Amino acid sequence: MSKRQLSLGAFFMLPGQHAGAWHDPSTKRENLWNPGYLAELARTAEKGKFDLIFVADGVSAGYTSRAFEYGARVTQFEPLTMFSYLAAVTEKIGFVATASTTYNEPFNLARQFASLDHLSKGRAGWNVVTSTGEEAARNFGKRDQDWPHHLRYERAHEFLDIVKKLWDSWEDDAILYDQEKGVFLDKRKVHRVNYEGRHLSVGGPLNIGRPPQGYPVIVQAGSSEAGRELAARTAEVVFTAWQTLEEAQAFYRDVKGRLAKYGRSPDELKIMPGVFPIIGRTEEEARAKKKYLEELVPLQVGVERLSFQLGVDLSRYDVDGPLPQLPPLEEINGNKSRFELIRNMAEREHLTIRQLIGRVITGRGHWEILGTPEQIADQLQEWFENGAADVFNVMPPVFPESLNEFVELVIPILQERGIFRKEYEGSTLREHLGLERPVNQFARQTVAQN
């Protein structure tokens, strides 16, 4: 029997995951919105046989952040258009686009993801997020009224239910295209959705046929209690952030343990921690690279980023002292799990604000691994083989170099060890990840009634 296989995501945050990336002379201003450069990066990831490219997203420019001028959040292509473009220049690699359930219409989003899945012949995935923050709210007519955490998740549940119904609204064999009889479709196989929720109501059917994958792969990124429950009920991949093997294992067990009550088996949900690799030919070279990148980032940017993640203005405190008293978890309306992760890391390791900034500007809270290609591979393998990860979302510090290094130096080692593919075997993202194509809920009902 063949070994259990690792999956890999390439996390595209341009010009790099490290907050210092854009300061590095190897990155160029003209590559900010350069589709040719983007295509080159995607082909590199495909050459490395990555399962997927992943993009994070938000619906505000970060103008109200004090670090705005310092490139705290760099503008980027909109994910659905970007991946539709990349569908034309790649053949196998999957595409996970982040999109918000808070500030989209389910009909529009279901349709665009279905369209991307058709354009890419079954390579689309959706990272489902809820959006937070007053700047985002104001971009959608909400004035300064941010959504409370529980209502965002309630809406997200409804949103997902509707979108899946819309994807199912055309059964796979609904279109007859019978030129002889002049009948285009079998109306019994096209379904209204008629969903009436507390937040959302949609009639349907969708105006595009069922996606090649049935549904694009559903990814979920929240690791709070509400996020875990949404994931257990609806997600196929969970994107998460952990600093230690023990924490990652606990999360892995917890989320997989929630599946049974929804009638799902543990294999139906893949756990995908983010990982931030700093690769050197020697460990020393890797350490020097880390130090170099850290020094590129103005202290002010680090203070602002940490303040944002903790929901506390740290600009009034001594950076060489400890964190001030933090608010209780219940009062955090943003990313609750990221807040907990950073708080726990500070307490566990007795870090000063400056030291904590060093952690946050690198992997932005994700697992940082450093060393030679062998050491990187060892650490990934350890988590993979000890119940902490099924997939890693690999976050190159600076593009394109860090991606190139990972593809050229680390992937061959994982391949030699027999835990990562040498060639794509399937052609859809579901096939890469080992996920089943979902049965159409309306077709299932028809069968059940017979």
Residues 373-392 that bind a copy of itself (CB under 8 A): none
Pick the binder of a copy of itself from 41, 45, 116, 241 (CB under 8 A): 116
166-205 positions binding a copy of itself, by CB under 8 A: 169-170, 175, 177, 179, 182-187, 190, 192, 200-205
User: What does 335-355 look like in DSSP terms, one character per residue?
Assistant: -HHHHHHHHHHHHHHT--HHH
Residue 437 engages a copy of itself in binding (rule: CB under 8 A): no
* Residue 115 touches a copy of itself, criterion: CB under 8 A: yes
- Nearer Cβ to a copy of itself (59/394): 59
Distance of alpha carbon 165 from the chain centroid = 23
Provide the total of helices (H) and of strands (E) in the chain, helices listed first: 16, 13
Which of 190/245 has CB closer to a copy of itself? 190
Considering CB under 8 A, how many residues would be counted as binding a copy of itself? 79
Q: Are 106 and 163 in contact (CB under 8 A)?
A: yes
Among 4, 145, 207, 291, binds a copy of itself (CB under 8 A): 207
Q: How far apart are CA 83 and CA 42, in angstroms?
A: 10
DSSP line for 127-169? EEE----HHHHHTTT-TT-PPPHHHHHHHHHHHHHHHHHHHHT
Q: In the window 321-340, what residues touch a copy of itself (CB under 8 A)?
A: none
Alpha-carbon distance 307 to 357, whole Å? 10
* Pairing mode of beta strands 201-202, 195-196: antiparallel
Residues 131-150 that bind a copy of itself (CB under 8 A): 135, 138-141, 143
Stated as kind and residue range, the H or E segment containing 231 is: helix 225-234
Q: How far is CA 323 from CA 70, 306, 352, in A?
A: 23, 10, 7
Tell which positions 84-113 bind a copy of itself, by CB under 8 A.
Answer: 84-89, 103-105, 107-108, 111-112
Q: Which two tokens stand for residue 379?
A: 């650490």
Residue 382's H or E segment, with its range, is helix 373-385
In this chain, which stretch among 118-126, 217-225, 382-390, 400-408 interacts with a copy of itself, using CB under 8 A?
118-126
Contact between 217 and a copy of itself per CB under 8 A: no
DSSP3 helix / strand / coil % (the chain, rounded to 5):
45, 15, 40
Does the annotation list 224 as a binding residue? yes
- 208 makes contact with a copy of itself (CB under 8 A): yes
Q: 153: annotated binding-site residue?
A: yes
CA distances to 216, 308, 339 from 96, in Å:
9, 25, 24
Residues 349-368 that bind a copy of itself (CB under 8 A): none
Query: Least CB distance from residue 92 to a copy of itself, whole Å?
Result: 15
Instruction: Tell me the per-residue interface mask from 396 to 415 with a copy of itself, x by CB under 8 A, - otherwise.
Output: --------------------
Question: In this complex, which beta carbon is closest to a copy of itself, that of residue 192 or of residue 281?
Answer: 192
| CB of 104 or CB of 249, closer to a copy of itself | 104
**C-beta of 446: minimal distance to a copy of itself in Å?**
18
Distance CA 89, CA 212 (A): 19
Choice between 27 and 372, CB closer to a copy of itself: 27
Q: Of 61 and 312, which CB lies nearer to a copy of itself in the complex structure?
A: 61
CB nearer to a copy of itself: pick between 74 and 250: 74
Interaction between residue 114 and a copy of itself (CB under 8 A): yes
Which amino acid type is present at position 340?
Answer: E
Q: Which residues contact 28 (CB under 8 A, 6 or more apart)?
A: none
Of 294-323, which residues contact a copy of itself (CB under 8 A)?
Answer: 296, 298
Q: Is 98 annotated as a binding residue?
A: yes
DSSP characters for 398-441?
STTHHHHHIIIIIHHHHHHTTSS-SS---SSHHHHHT-PPPPPH
- Least distance (Å) from a copy of itself to the CB of residue 231? 25
Q: Does 292 bind a copy of itself (CB under 8 A)?
A: no
Q: Which of residues 39-78 bind a copy of itself (CB under 8 A)?
A: 39, 58-63, 68-71, 73-78
Give the integer Cα–Cα distance in Å for 299 and 237.
Answer: 35
Least Å distance, CB 195 to a copy of itself, is 10
Q: Please enumerate, by residue number, every residue annotated as part of a binding site for FMN.
A: 57, 98, 149, 153, 223-224
